[in-house]
Amino acid sequence: MSESIHQASVIIPAYNEQTGIGPLLEKMIAEGLNERYQIIVIDDGSTDDTANIVSKYPVTLLRHGTNKGYGASLKTGIRKARCSKVMMLDSDGQHDPVYLQQVCTLLDDYDMVIGERDQSSHQVGNRQGGKWIIRKTGEMLVDQALPDYNSGLRGFQRELILNLLHLMPNGFSFSTTSTLAFLKEGYSIATFPIHVAKRIGRSSNVKFMKDGSKTMLLLLRIIMLFNPLKVFFPGSILFTVMGLIWGIHGFIVFGRFPNSGTILISLGMFLFFFGLLADQIAILNRKRG
């Protein structure tokens, strides 16, 4: 099928989702979404009957030989997509596919569209504290309020996300990274409210102690890519001020400027110039792709 037949490509990553994927595809086919959209399901090395179930429906099935991760599945789908708009949909039945039309429509005017979960949406209680920390850290790093940064229902202009694909992780943090990347690049982002139901089948693979810490490190990595001075400049100021205070104290009390004060000031200067260098390297790296 050619691009002119479909309005957009819908990418559905699936890993051991034999319980949820069938009802989701059944609903999409019943509503004729396969005629409007190119539906791509990526079986990410499932060990259950996911691939066999998907193969019974008129959708495109792509398979990974091994489990590569949520982000890797999205990358595969984006590369294989034939439409200028690409949309993401989870395979666990949490998202109503009826929202896809609103995402597709908003993509006529925006570079990214995110479905923001409403207050009544299902959320795993023991993740709320970690999500709050991640959100506040992200907002501090990008100097603006974040939309629903890890919502699994979103859409992109394919050309733009392709140019940033080399920056995206293979793990579950694809959503977080893409949100920050589009914000830092100044692309337009639209949001609209959605209701998310409880997932069907197995429990989520995301573990706060394991994956939450990875996301925090990911946020720092992203800011090092898009704005390294956000990390280096405060550090340089801190060490320079500490060195000056310690040095002045030593001069007043002992009549000489201590070597430790000089070292702290030098460290502050080095951090500042390293930050400038990192900023220039980051600009060059973002041009890749």
Q: How does pLDDT run across 88-104, given as a tens digit for each residue?
A: 999 887 889 999 999 99
Local confidence band at 226 (pLDDT 50, 70, 90 cut-offs): confident
1 — pLDDT class (breaks 50, 70, 90)? very low
Q: What percentage of the chain has pLDDT greater than the value 90?
A: 56
Which of the four pLDDT bands, split at 50, 70 and 90, describes residue 288? low
What number does CATH give the domain 3-226?
3.90.550.10
Query: What residues contact residue 255 under an 8 Å CB cut-off, 6+ apart?
Result: none
> Is-contact 115 88, C-beta < 8 A?
no
pLDDT-derived band at 206, boundaries 50, 70, 90: low
How many C-alpha atoms does 178 have within 13 Å on its Cβ side?
31
Q: In the prediction, which pLDDT does 71 show?
A: 94
**pLDDT score for 117:** 83
Query: In this model, does residue 131 exceed pLDDT 70?
Result: no
Render pLDDT for 162-179 as a digit per residue (tens, 0 to 9): 999 988 888 878 888 898
User: HSE of 179 in the Cβ direction (CA atoms, 13 Å)?
Assistant: 29
Is the pLDDT score of 31 beyond 90?
yes
pLDDT of residue 236: 95
Answer whether residue 136 shows pLDDT above 90. no
Is residue 73 within 8 A of residue 45, CB to CB? The reply is no
